[in-house]
Amino acid sequence: MPMDTQVPGKIRSVNPASGEVLGEIDCASESEVLAAVQRGRMAQPQWAEVGLRRRISILREFQTKLHGRKSEIAAAITREAGKPLAEALVTEVSVVLDAARFLIEHAWGLLRDQPVPHGNLATKLKRGRLVREPHGVIGIISPWNYPFSIPATETLAALVAGNAVLLKPSELTPVVALELASLLYASGVPKNVFQVVIGGGPTGAALTRSAIDKLVFTGSVGTGKRIAAAAAERLLPVVLELGGKDPMLVLEDADVDVASSAAVWGAFVNAGQACLSVERCYAHRSLYEPFVKACAEKADRLRVNDGMAANTDVGPMIDERQVRIVEAHVEEAKSHGARVLVGGTRLPALGVNFYAPTVLADVTHEMRIMREETFGPVLPIMAFDDEQEVVRLANDSVYGLAASIWTRDRKRGERIAGRIQAGTVMVNDVISCFGISEAPHGGLKASGIGCTHGPFGLDEMVRKKYLDVDLTPGIKKVWWHGYGESFRRQMEGFLDWQFGRGLGERVRGALRAAGVVRRKRL
Ligand code: NAD
């Protein structure tokens, strides 16, 4: 966390475009975090008991309230995180409204008990079912780049499943988290069932060490590893949604105009500060020059300004520390021979956190810009010659969050997608997968463990209990004690009956096994 926003014991929320202080909020101490976990623990059983129908109706109320306050919430996001108002609406508010829609429509079907039919003859006289139970108290630690949609989508899934939630938002965006809390409370979520603990890394670490039952973390790989190590100490289950270095593969038959617009949107949306940003782009050599030229022209036309201004395409970065990372990556790439086609500088006239949308050509995998997460408004483009090469380049990364493939040949796109190591591959689109509420969101390799969103994301919010009921309570099981030679032969027969190759062997097995029911058991 940057020093200039930290006052001891306080979190200062600052507008990244103007430097205006939006609020100063007390930081939760370790004992306050522990007390909040305790309150959540006490409140959770009653929340589970109100039943799924009631929780779904609270979600519906939340959706109505959020829809009613959509512009106000979008403005709060823009003020605190910098993104243009339109983006705050499209990539945050709308994602949450739709996540609520998904849960309202599907939570009932996805959370209800599920029969587990038995195939093994030995267990036919039992009825099994899967019961989904809330974990209890779920901790959510979230980043600043999507300060509303990330914690809200995770929170809604956790709450509808009957959990209490403790949210530790990024220290850079506490105000938006408090807006989420006010919407949830106004919709009928009890105060101790959803709590926000404000603070920086130490508050997050305190939450990780606390008695929570599961942790859903979204943030950088470095923090994710620290959390995984702390969680391992007490086998705390975790979902880790971490960083990415998403490749965009522009094949020789792609539409240059469409793909270049996509590359520019994918690289510069939220000033490049999206986990699913186009962080590296590979264009087939046959269209490399026109593609690069189109990207540069379009990037040059982007209007950079305060996100609150009506025509802004790209807002500020979140803080100067993030600007310095971008600057270092661009300078290093330049010193190794990358061509800067547009941008490549800060925009001090707009403010300390503004960096010009930058298109780099002739980059290589030796450069940090193609290997490390830049998380800023930079689109580095590299040429490739054939499919084999581009698949190798795309997979040459420690990350594996998402990727996109651009081609007019859908079948080929799908085939190549099968060779890409990523949690999501989109053919002919980027980033929008995050807004598809039915789709799981999660990464491979250093990009994380587990997932959020969709049925699998909801599944992370419940413990699976297998419930088995025996239908013959008055009968001792044939496999209980009282073994002997005849029992051994009966069991051989039973295995032949079930797994023997020919009909003859199976019938003989069944006959040998038959005596087992009359066997004396202890
Ligand atoms: P970060 O790791 O610095 O911080 C994330 C959160 O962790 C913050 O709330 C922070 O206070 C907290 N934290 C810091 N140290 C902690 C500790 N020791 N224990 C517990 N909590 C701690 O990340 P950031 O800069 O806020 O976010 C940007 C990163 O998040 C990027 O790498 C981006 O790719 C990633 N991200 C991933 C996804 C995804 O879904 N995979 C989505 C958005 C962002």
Quick one: pLDDT at residue 6? 52
Beta carbons within 10 angstroms of residue 38's beta carbon: 14
The span from the CA of 176 to the CA of 174, in Å, is: 6
Closest CA to 203 of 378, 36, 74: 36
Per-residue pLDDT tens for 252-282? Answer: 999 999 999 999 999 999 999 999 999 999 9
**Residue type (1 letter), 339:** R
Q: Mean pLDDT, to the nearest integer, of 222-239?
A: 98
Summarised one tens digit per residue, pLDDT across range 165-224 is 999 999 999 999 999 999 999 999 999 999 999 999 999 999 999 999 999 999 999 999
Whether the predicted pLDDT of 3 surpasses 60: no
Which pLDDT score, from 0 to 100, does residue 4 have? 46
| Alpha carbon distance 374, 118 (integer Å) | 51
pLDDT above 80 for 476:
yes
pLDDT of residue 291: 98
Question: Exposed, middle or buried by CB within 10 Å (0-12, 13-18, 19+), for 51?
Answer: exposed
Best residue among 142, 203, 223, 275 to mutate for probing ligand 1, ranked by most atoms within 8 Å of CB? 223
Convert 367-386 to b/e letters by CB count within 10 Å (16 or more is b): bbbbbbbbbbbbbbbbbbee
C-alpha triplet 151, 243, 445: angle, nearest 5°: 120
β-pairing, 399-400 vs 444-445, is antiparallel
Burial label, 304 (beta-carbon count in 10 A; 0-12, 13-18, 19+): buried
pTM of the model: 0.97
Is the predicted pLDDT of residue 49 greater than 50, yes or no?
A: yes
List the catalytic residues.
Answer: 241, 275
90, 91, 94, 99 alpha-carbon torsion, rounded to 10°: 160
Task: Tell me which residue has its CA closest to atom 34 in ligand 1.
Answer: 243
Ligand 1 centroid distance, CA of 223 (Å): 6
**CA torsion through residues 419, 421, 424, 425, sign:** negative
Quote the ligand 1 centre to 380 CA distance (angstroms): 24
- The Cα 156–Cα 151 span in angstroms is 9
Give the pocket of ligand 1 (CB within 6 Å). Answer: 141-146, 150, 168, 170-171, 200-201, 204-205, 208, 218-220, 223, 226-227, 241-244, 275, 373, 375, 401, 441, 443, 448
Cα–Cα distance measured from residue 23 to residue 179, given in angstroms and rounded to the nearest whole number = 13
In 54-145, DSSP assigns E strands to 114-116, 126-134, 137-141
Amino acid (1-letter code) at residue 106: H
E-state strands within 34-160: 114-116, 126-134, 137-141
CA atoms of 238 and 461, how far apart (whole Å): 10
* pLDDT band at 7; cut points 50, 70, 90: low
Atom of ligand 1 nearest to the CA of 205: 19
Percent helix, strand and coil across the chain, each to the nearest 5: 45, 20, 35
Taking the mean position of all CA atoms in its chain, how far away is CA 124?
40
For range 138-154, the mean pLDDT: 98
Whether residue 216 contacts residue 240, with contact meaning beta carbons closer than 8 Å, is answered with: no
Cα separation, 199 vs 326, in Å, equals: 26
403 neighbors 394 (Cβ within 8 angstroms): yes
Residue in 371, 395, 391, 369 with CA at minimum distance from that of residue 380:
369
Q: How much of the chain exceeds pLDDT 70, in percent?
A: 99
Mean pLDDT of the chain: 97
CA angle 269, 275, 281 (to 5 degrees): 70
Helix (H) or strand (E) holding 206: helix 201-209
What is the residue whose two structure tokens read 């190590």? 229
